[in-house]
Structure 1
Amino acid sequence: MGTVAYAQDLPPDPLAPRAGLSAEMRQAYEEGRLIFNGHWRPSGTNGPDDLVGLGPLYNRLSCASCHGAGGRGKPPEGPNSPFLTALVRIGVVDKDGKVSAHPVFGTQIQDRAVPDVAPEASLSLDWEPMSGQFPDGTEYELRRPVLTIAPDPGPDARWSIRVAPQVYGVGALADAVGPQFTPGLFGWKALEPTLVTQNAAALSQDIGITSHYQPVPICPSDGCAQGKPEIDGARLMLLTLFTDHLAAPEPDPPPALGKMLFTKIGCAQCHRPDLPKQMGSGMVHAYTDLALHDMGPGLDDGLPEGGVDSAKWRTAPLWGLGRVLKKDPAFPLLHDGRARGAAEAILWHDGSAAGARKGFMALSKEDRDALIAFLTSL
């Protein structure tokens, strides 16, 4: 005889919406989920839906290809591993420090293409080990990415690996009071001001889908035709409604010692536990200030973007960190996934965050473990 699966036996839905949606909003949410999970295909091909217009150059077939279950991506583990949930931004920097799009690759390398079109480049990632030691004698190893791009982009090119960030909870970030004097709130460089422009930018660069906000297609060197937007306003709004209403992560009860150490060594100065909402009462418990900070030479990849210096990065929200660290304590973190777990991520902090790194290094091993246990509860 078979067994019956009851609701309490089913795993929780990682793409569940915020509580309180009306039946009409829930229907729209589910339509947006279908767009998020759906695979786009080249123009002129038949399929079960109207997700048509892929490419001609692209990185992935769908939003969910990089943000699986709404979560984070990973870089390749080595030169024989493909880029699946990460990509490469690129530009040319002149002697005066001015950055411009690469003449061949533009601002992002699309390593896939529709049939009869050649991808822009092939990518191979390796890692250079870097050893270090805590003051108590405990040794550690960090790693630095070493990327090979073929064809060679030239001596003035600068590149930056970007792993896909989590998307659950981003709607709550849109409700938070963010910092002044930043281009926007979303993305590793905080370049996009709203969820709809963030979604449109990702559709354009990652999947090759044009929209009202991004009408120019990503084309090979011999060009391609520009027609009407490949995602219309209604579907873009459904996708945005979906991302806006994704439920925020729920933390575990925090270990008291680790939480105290998190504040004591200075992590909470940028990873602020709470941000006020723009409208109404309540707080957003995302552990970020949403601001850009100089993270020092170690995380400076030499590629300014959108007027943001190459060493500056938006404070990553820490909520949801426990979801990945409980499954894999060495899960790749930071913008390019170089950090294998929370301790390595802290050790890469420098510049504006140098004090927190020094404070972490000065802790005993027991206290370092307590701090990591706190981060694993978020």
Structure 2
Amino acid sequence: MSSKTRIGPAILITAAFIGPGTVITASLAGTNFGYSLLWALLFSVIATIILQEMAARLGVITGQGLGENLRQTFQHPFSRGITTVLVIAAIVIGNSAYQGGNISGATLGLSAVFDAPRSTNKSTFNWWALVIGVIAFFIMWRGQYRIIERAMILLVGTMSLAFLITFVMTKPDLGELMSGLLIPQIPTGATLTVIALIGTTVVPYNLFLHADTVSQKWQHSDQLPQARKDLFISIPIGGLISIAILSTGAAAFFGQQITLNSVADLSPALQPLFGQWAKIFMALGLFAAGISSAITAPLAAAYALCGILGLPKQLAAIKFKVIWICILVIGVVIASTGFKPVTIIWFAQVANGILLPIICGYLLWIMNQPLLSTYRNNWWQNLCGIVILIITLILSTRSLMLAFGMI
């Protein structure tokens, strides 16, 4: 393989965490609190880079994904059983819930952008969900990683252009933007928004997805610098998109008594500033966000489950396809048949709350094992990982307490 740096597996990670949920969360953060929460996005991007670098290093050095390494590391039936249950319950079932949320967010936004009629009849079928599901199905069905990778590069590029152009057109205050990035503060009532901004970026299933896809593209330790360069290009792109979305909300809506209840409200609210261009930019951004999330979530679930159960992980393998098809179908059904999202969101919140610190702990433990030889974590990588673990544990505890109505 040429030593030339190319965008590769890390672009899937960017595509995974920049979904409709991120668009909603970042937009509302900017609308309600201005630029003051940009630091939370900056922290999230740094934390994502640190954890994903560990996952990438694990994939390159061992030639296996995180699920396989967990299976081989925990040989005792009890510890392996607990690990398997956690991965299946939280990653696979949790991904189904998030898949429904991603597609629902994308279809809601697209319906508003394209002026699709919205019926109050709960039995009305949402055809946008089916369209997104079908496109995602055909991209993944080919069973060729290069096709998926190129599709993600195209979609992330589309998102970048759409949201960055919107960002420039709103003419943000650069002084306030830099202050928000570098000076941490939590305005009154912003605690849950901070948790949401971090939670929408530091995604646990991305650790499985990254380790597996990296192990397929790079198999030798001398290729580790290529994997790192790929990471240091792709993840900051995602961070810039998130920052652009939040800053757009801050510049366009903060302090103007405009209420945004969902991403569907963004396009009409931006039209006084941009005219019909707002509709075009938001349509492109939301469509790309919806499709990319619809691809990466089922793919990550398939990698995680196949790895932990010892099943074939080739994209063309029937069992691999069956898993991601199930996740995709469940997501489309949730998004298209009018189910109330309350129970789904509750379960997804609980699953993510349980999974995130546990997977961080598993990753840190594995990254200090002899199987990595000289590529084990050094002291500062462990220190950074422990700090992230503690923060995610605090956030997860808060999420669980909210989910169970304790706060």
Tell me if TM exceeds 0.5: no
Q: Which has the higher strand share?
A: 1
Structure with larger RCO (C-alpha < 8 A, sep 6+): 2
Give TM-score, length-normalised by structure 1: 0.30
